[in-house]
């Protein structure tokens, strides 16, 4: 039986390219292709005898390709690539080193002190700008990271943007450098670590500080298909998204333990041997598709919305606690027809703050969307486990002396559809084979301490890194099978009901700041974010049913259609909304909803 048949679905209706409509006054403010882009920028500089066009570039943007196309398109008489004015490589490496944790392929420290200007030699910048201003009459182009800082007087400011996920793909293909370096070809995991802990933090400060100044945004996500939109259209689209339900653009990735469920249910292309992950609500790395007139879509990083409208999106209480940081993450882990995830643990908040500069840690949970016969979740240690015995077994396995005796040390629980397993930090865990997990967690995701990877290699044919030493520092040995059974497995609590609906609390653990609620319904079901002043952003997934319609009781937003397994965001500013069955849905539907609790856990 196919996965779709198991779920009662006739065919996949999962939307892989959801979009946010751009408000009508700006719906035509888009120019696709270099010829149209050049024409638009020449219009914008008309009347300036020697206009200066500044193009700020987010890390990962192919500056060489953009320069090659854009300079002739605007008739540039002189070009200054800001990368020429970087400090010497040795100086930048020394500056970056405190944030990168040496050669460790995963862990570093969040950059909190460096700014874009720190990567440049001020004297070199000044000399290059004198040459640029003295060039022959006509448009002059300054392009690259730091362009806005070097040319604050620019007649036109363009932000060349790109979602972080695309940047990671370019790093894997050897097509991108890290900020301040020419290091393409470096191991992709090390490039990604540098981006996560350093590059993105530095670039995002400049992005959020200058967003109101952008005359245009240049979408460079798809090579050879540039699109230019006005800064006003960008801001209008973000304002619209902050007051209506929306979805992020999901991305899918293979892994050594990946399965086949998403390939069928989400209608994914053949090619990869499996699909392990789907990240469909990770605003730091996902993108937003903006829908313009004539079917044109423009892809922008979804983090732009968090930076621009944090209060409307998150709610005042959440913004007050986390700042412009989206603290809830939804993603999929597919082991249907695959293997076990790595046996792992996440650090507590104190450890994350001290060692990684993170304000909070990755508390999480596994909600089982689907499971085959025999599916299990590993959660906690077996009752009576002696820490020294388990750690010795793990170290012997790491040394290749034996396989880790998971049955002796790891507590196991049968996993069935709609089960919910809570995983507060410090709890040993992993999903076993033949499960389809909706992972609901706090957002930090560079703090997973893998302890055992089941004697397998990564997709690159090399052993995947484990970190027993760090893991040993944070394991909660009191989280054994008895504790997990009593406190972490299916902690369902009925909260209320109405005509055609009922609500349950499903977690998370009292130590975590995320609350999750499940609604079963066959009629319009009331929800409320609490509003911008007192509430929290809501993140939901349709975990049962073909499709549902999200509506505003007072018509504040257009009805929003969601399909099975799709994650959607309802900003705090929305306030009341309803979810009801529609289309081909039959029987009882269900949503899982997450939001930030009103008070910090004690």
Contact between 312 and 533 (Cβ < 8 Å): no
Distance CA 196, CA 194 (A): 6
Q: How far apart are the first and last CA of the chain?
A: 47
492-596, what's its fold? Jelly Rolls (2.60.120)
Which residues lie below 8 Å from residue 461, measured CB to CB, with a gap of 6+? none
Distance CA 167, CA 334 (A): 24
CA-to-CA separations, 437 to 178, 279, 280, 405, 565, in angstroms, rounded? 33, 12, 13, 24, 11
Q: What is the pLDDT of residue 445?
A: 66
Rg value, the chain, Cα: 25
What backbone torsions phi and psi does residue 95 show, to the nearest 5 degrees? -70, -35
3-state secondary structure of 510: coil
Q: What is the pLDDT of residue 50?
A: 82
Q: Which CATH class is domain 20-241?
A: alpha beta
Distance CA 121, CA 130 (A): 14
Q: pTM of this prediction?
A: 0.95
What rounded mean pLDDT belongs to the chain? 94
CA-to-CA separations, 558 to 240, 462, 549, in angstroms, rounded? 11, 50, 10
Contact between 423 and 488 (Cβ < 8 Å): yes
Q: What is the DSSP string of 239-295?
A: HHHTTS-B-PBPEEE--TT-BSHHHHHTTPPS-SS-B-EEEEE-TTT-EEEEE-GGG
Which residues lie below 8 Å from residue 467, measured CB to CB, with a gap of 6+? 106, 107, 449, 450, 451
Q: What is the DSSP pairing of strand 156-161 with strand 52-57?
A: parallel
Q: Is 539 exposed, middle or buried (0-12, 13-18, 19+ CB in 10 A)?
A: buried
Contact between 30 and 296 (Cβ < 8 Å): yes
Q: Which CATH class is domain 251-287+313-487?
A: mainly beta
Crossing angle of helices 34-45 and 63-74, in 10° steps, is 60
E strands along 38-155, which residues?
Answer: 52-57, 78-81, 140-143
Q: Is 492 exposed, middle or buried (0-12, 13-18, 19+ CB in 10 A)?
A: middle
What backbone torsions phi and psi does residue 499 show, to the nearest 5 degrees? -70, 100
Q: What is the pLDDT of residue 104?
A: 76
Q: What is the pLDDT of residue 602?
A: 36
Q: Write out pLDDT tens, residues 361-386.
A: 888 999 999 999 999 999 999 999 99
Q: What is the DSSP pairing of strand 156-161 with strand 216-219?
A: parallel
* Spacing of C-alpha 39 from chain mean position: 35
Contact between 393 and 302 (Cβ < 8 Å): no
Domain with CATH 3.40.50 in the chain: 20-241
Distance CA 170, CA 61 (A): 9
Domain with CATH 2.60.120.10 in the chain: 251-287+313-487, 492-596
Which residues lie below 8 Å from residue 91, measured CB to CB, with a gap of 6+? none
The segments of the chain whose pLDDT lies below 50 read 600-602
Q: Write out pLDDT tens, residues 511-568.
A: 789 999 999 999 999 999 999 999 999 999 999 999 999 999 999 999 999 999 999 9
E strands along 82-220, which residues?
Answer: 140-143, 156-161, 216-219
Distance CA 41, CA 215 (A): 10
């Amino acid at each position: 039986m196919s996965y779709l048949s198991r779920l009662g679905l006739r065919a996949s209706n999962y939307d892989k390219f959801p979009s946010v409509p751009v408000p009508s006054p700006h719906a035509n403010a888009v120019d696709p292709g270099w010829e149209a882009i050049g024409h638009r920028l020449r219009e914008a500089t008309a009347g300036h005898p020697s206009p200066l066009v500044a193009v700020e570039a987010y890390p990962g943007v192919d500056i060489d390709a953009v320069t090659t196309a854009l300079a002739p398109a605007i008739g540039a008489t002189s070009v200054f690539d800001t990368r020429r004015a970087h400090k010497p490589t040795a100086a930048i490496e020394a500056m970056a080193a405190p944030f990168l944790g040496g050669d460790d392929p995963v862990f570093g420290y969040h950059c909190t002190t460096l700014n874009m200007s720190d990567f440049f030699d001020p004297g070199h910048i000044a000399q290059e700008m004198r040459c640029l201003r003295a060039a022959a009459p006509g448009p002059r182009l300054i392009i690259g990271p730091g362009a806005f800082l070097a040319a604050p007087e620019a007649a036109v400011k363009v932000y060349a943007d790109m979602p972080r996920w695309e940047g990671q793909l370019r790093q894997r293909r050897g097509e991108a450098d890290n900020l301040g370096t020419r290091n393409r070809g470096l191991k992709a995991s090390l490039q990604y670590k540098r981006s996560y802990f350093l590059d993105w933090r530095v670039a995002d400060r400049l992005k959020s500080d200058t967003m109101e100044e952008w005359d245009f945004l240049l979408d460079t996500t798809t090579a050879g298909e540039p699109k230019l939109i006005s800064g006003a259209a960008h801001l209008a689209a973000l304002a619209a998204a902050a007051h209506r339900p929306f979805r992020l653009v999901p991305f899918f990735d293979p892994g050594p333990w990946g399965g086949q469920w998403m390939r069928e249910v989400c209608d994914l292309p053949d090619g990869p041997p499996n699909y392990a992950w789907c990240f469909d609500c990770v605003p730091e790395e996902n993108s937003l598709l903006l829908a313009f007139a004539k079917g044109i879509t423009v892809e922008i990083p979804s983090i732009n919305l968090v930076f621009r409208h944090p209060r409307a999106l998150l709610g005042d209480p959440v913004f007050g606690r986390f700042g412009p940081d989206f603290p809830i993450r939804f993603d999929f882990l597919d082991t249907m027809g695959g293997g076990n995830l790595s046996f792992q643990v996440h650090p507590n908040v104190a450890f994350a703050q001290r060692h990684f500069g993170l304000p909070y840690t990755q508390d999480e949970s596994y909600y089982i969307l689907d499971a085959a016969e025999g599916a299990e979740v590993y959660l906690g240690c077996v009752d009576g486990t002696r820490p020294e015995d388990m750690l010795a077994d793990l170290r012997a396995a790491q040394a290749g002396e034996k396989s880790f005796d998971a049955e002796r040390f790891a507590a196991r629980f049968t996993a069935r559809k709609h089960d919910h397993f809570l995983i507060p930090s410090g709890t040993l865990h992993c999903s076993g084979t033949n499960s389809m997990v909706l992972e609901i967690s706090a957002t930090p995701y560079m703090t997973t301490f893998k302890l055992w990877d089941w004697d397998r290699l990564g997709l690159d044919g090399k052993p995947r890194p484990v970190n027993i030493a760090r893991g040993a520092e944070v394991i909660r040995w009191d989280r054994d099978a008895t504790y997990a059974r009593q406190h972490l497995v299916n902690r369902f609590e009925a909260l209320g009901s109405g005509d055609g609906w009922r609500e349950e609390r499903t977690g998370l653990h009292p130590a975590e700041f995320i609350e999750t609620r499940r609604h079963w319904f066959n009629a319009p079901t009331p929800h409320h974010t609490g509003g911008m002043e007192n509430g929290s952003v809501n993140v939901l997934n349709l975990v049962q049913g073909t499709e549902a319609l999200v509506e505003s009781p007072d018509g504040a937003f257009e009805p929003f259609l969601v399909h099975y397994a799709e994650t959607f965001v309802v900003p705090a500013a929305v306030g009341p909304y309803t979810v009801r069955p529609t289309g081909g849905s039959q029987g009882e539907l269900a949503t899982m909803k997450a939001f930030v609790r009103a008070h910090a856990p004690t």
